[in-house]
Chains A and B, each alone.
Chain A
Amino acid sequence: MSDFIRRLPVYLLLDCSGSMIGEPIEAVRQGVKALLSELKGDPQALETAYLSVITFDSDARQVIPLTELMQFQEPEIKASGATAMGKALNVLIACVNNEVRKSSETQKGDWRPLVFLLTDGAPTDVETFRQAAQNLKNMKAANIVACAAGAQADTSFLKQITENVLMMNTLSAGDMARFFAWVSGSIKMSSKSLDAKPGAAIELPPPPQGFVVVP
């Protein structure tokens, strides 16, 4: 018999480029901390959600593989370098392919992964990015929300990845906290609406105040 449960994989793609140095990257750290503490109090999220963190600067890597919430340890996040968002998308594609279980005759597949991408800029690896964004869209393997933070963020790139693009005006600690609170609300809501039929559209809570849904 299969001991696998149906997991809700959640990927956080965090921009750790040089422009995030200082208050913004500290706000991201605090945000991840708050997100975890929130989710660890929710029995539905604890039983279903698995979290992974992918960071990108001049390069991209999965700093935390898809991990049980109860075992999740906050990653060390530092800011430096460029914005290799394209590489980050390729890392994401590889992770989804490797980590997310497909349904089979004898195995429960995972729920459709939920991906949150946060950036304050635009990709510096534009060619890689275009290709990766296209591949990701073709895969249709995840529900992706991209958030452009601050005045320098370029939403037109994000639109190449997903229809769901949010914009927050500042990189302030307050806005960042609201963003992560919204992410945790979204994960909770998704883990709740799971029985609403896997694979179907997932409803997320309305974005926090001060955030704009980019049409």
Chain B
Amino acid sequence: MDQHTPFGRDVPPAALPVGRVVKQADAPPGPLLLPEAAPPSPIPEAVSSLSISENDVPQADPVSPPPAAEPLEAPPEPQSQIAVPDTKTEPLPRPNETPAPQDSEALPAHAEEEAPQAPLKPLSNEAVTGHTAALWKYNPIPQDQPEPFPEYLTVCQEYPIGRLTGARVRGKKHKHEGTNCDDWFAASSFQDLLFIVVSDGAGSRKFSRIGARESCRAAAGYLAKSFSDLWAKQPQLPADITLDFEDQRCMYACGVLAGAVQQSVLKAREAVEAAFYTRSTDPAYAAVLGRPLDFKDLSGTLLVSAVIPAGNAGNLVISCQVGDGMIALVDSKAPFASSLKLMGIPDSGEFSGETEFLTSAKMASLDALQNRTKISRGRSDTLLIMTDGVADDYFPNETEMRRLYFDLIANGVLHWETGSLSAEQLRIYKTLPAPLSYPWVNDQSIQVPLHYTRRILESSSLTPEALWENRSVLALARQELEGQTDLNNPAERLERWLDNYVERGSFDDRTLVAVEIKEA
């Protein structure tokens, strides 16, 4: 697949495809700005289940910043978008099939007109999304503004440590309005280490996508270079991180590596500054904004994860997060209750709070990043990094991230062996609802069938715990989905899923990078 340009370690600290930027003109001049009154965000608390909380991590040795990684030569952008399969084929008939949302619930024809206080039976979310599906329009990305970005970014890459599957899709809102996707992601590697960076450009800023792209590339490039230097200068580090956590050498090593991860966030910020300065006098940007370009116009979140093999201790995962989104670690072999660790620390507040951005003044110092760094070591084998466009659909993350994990198996993104199903599993399989189809926003004539764990749990009366024990049922259901499509690459399936799963009120750009770590 041409568009799945590898961006592996052979292309040294490589980053992902490059795009250019643009954004749709704002509303006419003189917007009325309402005052904000959001309460301050509470300081995020450490999650106690982690192997080490950030407080235990020794202050990182200021890692001497190595010479800036060479600008990552990015492979050509993927131009073509994958064809979403036409699925006029009938889904396999199943008992208890749930009808498509369009039909599932007739709208109450008339509410009590004369008794306005009588509470109406609320519509189901599916009834609403079934109705709005036909109203979403597709408008292409305008090519007449600076730096238009590609419609899709889709990557499937084998690394020594495991398979990376990543995709980013333009949200329905941006498709409807004909504006750019503001998300970006990049990855890089050094030996058997893997680094993933994801950013969500601020929705309110027209050129935030440039900040998102530049920050991802810079952080990914810096991490590969920096870890390579560390491994050369402190050759004991790879062994030290396998020692007991109480051991001073291990604590020191973790501190050094966490410091490098934090440093990559600062490098990302510097790259955004540089990107701002090279554009600040360019009239093309000012013309779109109707004013000079501002540093804050390049605002975005940043989520960084480093995956470092730690021998018998499993893998060391270090993450640092500025702004919203989520980073989750799943141990697929653990019991349900201990299978999930959240590695992200989103900012949040009372009315759903404000987010910090990489461009916020306080993100220029390491201090602010200490609280945003998490370290975990163990057997977890699946790392999921996503922007808010996905994370927000799995709220609260503490429990719902497992539903995301199930959705990724059921839709053919994460691998799970079907094996031979027991009689009980076959019985469960038969209770599963048929895939639910919605029209593809890009082409309403194409229906895209997908599995929804939420519906599976509802119609099978399984608990999430029971589904965890019977994941092979999901894996089988996913094969059936495949029968209706011709996508045999997990990244394409991820792209299709991100591009088409429907949640009411969810129309943001969606980016998800999954790493399936091989057994050591």
- The chain A residues found within 8 Å of chain B, CB to CB, are 1-3, 5-7, 41-44, 46-48, 62-65, 67-68, 70-71, 73, 75, 102-103, 105-106, 108-112, 140, 143, 145, 163-164, 189, 192-193, 195-207, 213
Indicate with 1 or 0, residue by residue over B3-45, a CB within 8 angstroms of chain A CB atoms: 0000000000000000000000001111111111111000000
Chain B contacts to A: CB under 8 angstroms: 27-39, 107-108, 110-111, 113, 116-117, 119-120, 122-123, 125, 127-129, 131-132, 135-136, 171-173, 176-177, 202-204, 348-355, 388-389, 392, 395-396, 398-400, 403, 454, 503-505, 507-508
- Name the B residues within 8 Å of A71 (CB-CB): 107-108, 111, 120, 122-123
Q: How far is the CA of A64 from the CA of B119 in the complex (A)?
A: 10
Q: What are 25 inter-chain pairs, A to B, with CB distance below 8 A?
A: A43-B136, A46-B128, A47-B128, A47-B129, A47-B132, A63-B116, A70-B128, A73-B110, A75-B116, A108-B395, A112-B37, A140-B37, A143-B35, A197-B354, A197-B355, A199-B37, A199-B350, A201-B33, A203-B33, A204-B32, A205-B28, A206-B27, A206-B28, A206-B31, A206-B32
C-alpha gap A6/B172 in the complex (Å): 17
Interface residues of A, dominant DSSP: loop
Chain A residues within 8 Å of B349, by CB:
103, 199
- CA of A147 to CA of B508, assembled, Å: 32
Known: A103-B348, A199-B354, A204-B34. 8 other contacts (CB 8 A): A3-B125, A46-B131, A65-B117, A70-B123, A105-B396, A108-B392, A111-B352, A112-B38
Is B508 touching A112 in the complex (CB atoms < 8 A)? no
CB distance from B294 to the nearest CB of A (A): 15
For B400, give the chain A residue with the smallest CB separation: A1
CA–CA, A103 to B34, complex, Å? 21
Which residues of the partner chain B approach A103 to less than 8 Å between Cβ atoms?
A: 348-353
Residues of A within 8 A of B352 (CB): 6, 103, 108-109, 111, 198-199
CB distance from B329 to the nearest CB of A (A): 20
Evaluate contact between A203 and B31: CB separation under 8 angstroms: yes
Query: Is A73's CB under 8 angstroms from B33's CB?
Result: no
Q: Which residues of B contact A112 (CB under 8 A)?
A: 37-38, 351
Q: Of B30, B111, B131, which contacts A206 at CB under 8 A?
A: B30
Pick from A6, A47, A206: contact of B29, CB under 8 Å: A206
- Chain B nearest CB: distance from A114 CB in Å? 9
Contact present for A197 and B116 (CB under 8 Å): no
Task: Determine whether the beta carbon of B35 is less than 8 Å from that of A109.
Answer: no
Which of chain B's residues have a CB closer than 8 A to the CB of A195? 171, 173, 203, 388-389, 508
Cβ of B27: which chain A residues have Cβ within 8 Å of it?
189, 203, 205-206
- Chain B nearest CB from A100 CB (Å) reads 9
Partner of B504, one of A5, A110, A198: A5
Q: State A64–B297 Cα separation when bound (angstroms).
A: 40
Residues A193 and B107 in contact, CB atoms below 8 Å apart: no
CB-nearest residue of chain A relative to B110? A73
